[in-house]
C-alpha cells in the first residue's frame, strides 16, 4: 500500500470515527452547542455518513482514486 493512500484512508476513518457514537466527540460537542438530542443529530447525519463510507471504500479498494492527483506532482 502506498503511504499517500494509507494517509488518506487514515484521515477518512478518523473523520468517520469523530461523527459516530459511542466515541463521536464532534457529534457530542455539536449536540451540546446546538442544544439538540443525539438521536436527532444522528438521524440527520446518516446521508453524509453513508456518502463518506462509500468514498472510503472506493479509496481503499481502488487505489487510482487517491493516487492519481499526487502522481502529477512527483
Supply the pTM of this predicted model: 0.79
Residue 26: its pLDDT value, please? 83
Q: What is the mean pLDDT of residues 19-41?
A: 86
Q: How many C-beta atoms surround the C-beta of residue 12 within 10 A? A: 18
Give the whole-angstrom CA distance, residue 19 versus residue 26.
6
Q: What is the mean pLDDT of residues 30-46?
A: 90
Q: What is the mean pLDDT of residues 6-12?
A: 95
Residue ranges of alpha helices (H) inside the chain are 3-18, 25-34, 38-61, 63-71
pLDDT tens digit sequence for 42-62: 888 889 989 999 999 999 999
Q: Is the pLDDT of residue 6 over 90?
A: yes
Amino acid at each position: 500500500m502506498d503511504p499517500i493512500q494509507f494517509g488518506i484512508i487514515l484521515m477518512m476513518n478518523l473523520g468517520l470515527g469523530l461523527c459516530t457514537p459511542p466515541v463521536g466527540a464532534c457529534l457530542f460537542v455539536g449536540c451540546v452547542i446546538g442544544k439538540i438530542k443525539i438521536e436527532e443529530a444522528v438521524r440527520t447525519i446518516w446521508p453524509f455518513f453513508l456518502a463518506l463510507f462509500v468514498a472510503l471504500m472506493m479509496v481503499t479498494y481502488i487505489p487510482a482514486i487517491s493516487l492519481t492527483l499526487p502522481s502529477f506532482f512527483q
